[in-house]
Structure 1
Amino acid sequence: MLVFCNFPDVGTAREIAGELIEKGFAACVNLMPGIESIYRWEGELRKEAEVLAVFKVRSGKFRELERELLARHPYEVPEIIGITTDRVGEGYAKWVTES
């Protein structure tokens, strides 16, 4: 499963990702700085530079990861989107499961 979550900066994303990997909530996290998000918040159009984090997790870990992200994330309403994967390399899937 892939879980997408945006962060305000690389430092915050790196710190939270490291904590969640250490605690076993994710096997790996890719950080992609330099994305631009355009959205409406409290009636106002916003444009923000953000960092996209892609967490690699077992499907059964989604709710636990969500809970941990909500507890640590600086945003009032963070984007936490889980996407199930139906095709994953056998070796990689085994590694994610064991991590």
Structure 2
Amino acid sequence: MKALLVFCNVPDRAQAERIAQALVAGRLAACVNILAPCRSVYRWEGKVESADEIPLIIKTTDDAYPQLEQQLRALHPYQVPEIVACDIVVGLPDYLTWVGGQVFSRE
């Protein structure tokens, strides 16, 4: 089992709460941090845009990632949501074991 951090921005607090609850209740994530609003600047359809967004930090496993990505895409209001995953290379072993125990396993 490899633990992952998944980053995803959503447009508002209500969406953040709804997505976090669904991912944890569905055992696709051990924990979701809902961060303070931030301002995102990006290029979309040939124009520079900006928007206030709520960042999510999602703790999951590589085994659960495909289902997590599918669920995020289904719940997310954006046409192309930001979904970026990074391996957790080092961390407190007890915490990483806890993450693995909270997320479903296909085994």
TM-score bracket for the superposition, by shorter chain length: over 0.9
Residue in structure 2 matching 1:84, options 76, 83, 87: 87
Residue in structure 1 matching 2:73, options 70, 82, 86: 70
Q: Give the equivalent residue in structure 1 for 2:96.
A: 93
Aligned residues: CA RMSD: 0.7
Identity, % of aligned pairs? 38
Q: Give the equivalent residue in structure 2 for 1:31.
A: 34
Distance 1:12 1:78 in 2: 13
Greater than 2 Å deviation, 4+ residue runs: none
Instruction: State how many pairs are aligned.
Output: 99
Higher helix share goes to which structure?
Answer: 1
SS of 2:79's partner is coil
Q: Which runs of 5+ in 2 are unaligned?
A: 103-107
Task: Check if 1:41 corresponds to 2:34.
Answer: no
What is the letter of the counterpart of residue 84 of structure 1? D
TM-score by length of 2: 0.89
SS of 2:64's partner is helix
Q: Which runs of 5+ in 1 are unaligned?
A: none
Distance 1:95 1:39 in 2: 36
Distance 1:24 1:34 in 2: 26
**Deviation of 1:89 (Å):** 0.5
What is the letter of the counterpart of residue 69 of structure 1? L
What is the letter of the counterpart of residue 65 of structure 2? F
